[in-house]
Chains A and B, each alone.
Chain A
């Protein structure tokens, strides 16, 4: 089975740092993705982790611990345009098709 768990909503101030957590329990693991989704828009790819550790990409960083089934997305220097839902997705290789299982998303609201 697959279970991807994320907090539902958080509010943060412009210029601040916010950490979005994701815990997962899946039959197999072949990488974890973070997507950003603005209201009424398509998800857009942010980051990918397959090995333990931190991946940094500009204002966004993503961390993975496979032994703990845990990842987080770190957003630095928050901007108003970062208000969106952040989706965690785990690739499960069992079944041979590398299906992505998504969490419900964490809605981040940035306030001035």
Chain B
């Protein structure tokens, strides 16, 4: 079974530039998550989709970050304009989305963003 796919794996940009990340979840997973992981920290949820609807974006800096999942499958996360403090690994995860206790999240390899 294929895992969560993400691209690009690495990105270096200058501050005030724009950048976009792509994620393709595991087939059949209704829920998709974007996390930001700063070096030395645990992942922090940015946004959660259930199919093509947003269920939690309370921790997304909406003045510069946006995300969409138009057809309920793959998703893009955009930063415009980027700041130095956005340097981090951006992880995408997916899960079946069942309202059971387990509903394990499976993570993609991440995109390492460096803002200069």
A24 CB to closest chain B CB (Å) equals 12
User: With a CB–CB cut-off of 8 A, which chain A residues contact B108?
Assistant: 42
**Binary contact readout B39-69 vs A (1 if CB under 8 angstroms, 0 otherwise):** 0111111001000000110100000000000
Report yes or no: B44 in contact with A102, Cβ–Cβ below 8 A. yes
Q: Which residue of A lies closest to B59 (CB)?
A: A99
Q: Is the CB of A42 within 8 A of B56?
A: no
Which A residues lie at the B interface, using CB under 8 A? 4, 30-31, 33, 35, 40-45, 48, 50, 87, 89, 95-100, 102-105
Chain B residue numbers with a CB within 8 Å of A43 are 43, 91, 107
Bound Cα distance A102, B43 (Å):
6
Cα(A76)–Cα(B4), bound, Å: 29
List 9 additional A-B contacts (Cβ < 8 Å) besides A42-B107, A45-B105, A105-B42.
A35-B107, A40-B112, A43-B91, A45-B106, A87-B43, A95-B56, A97-B56, A102-B42, A102-B44
Interface SS majority for chain A: loop
The reply on B25 being an interface residue by CB < 8 A is no
In the bound assembly, the distance between CA atoms of A35 and B58 in angstroms comes to: 24
Query: Residues of A contacting B14 with CB < 8 Å?
Result: none
Give every chain B residue within 8 A of A99 (Cβ-Cβ). Answer: 45, 48, 56
* Chain B residues within an 8 Å CB radius of A102: 42-44
Closest B residue to A48 by CB, please name it: B102
Identify which of B41, B110, B112 contacts A104 (C-beta below 8 A): B41
B3 to chain A: closest residue by CB? A42
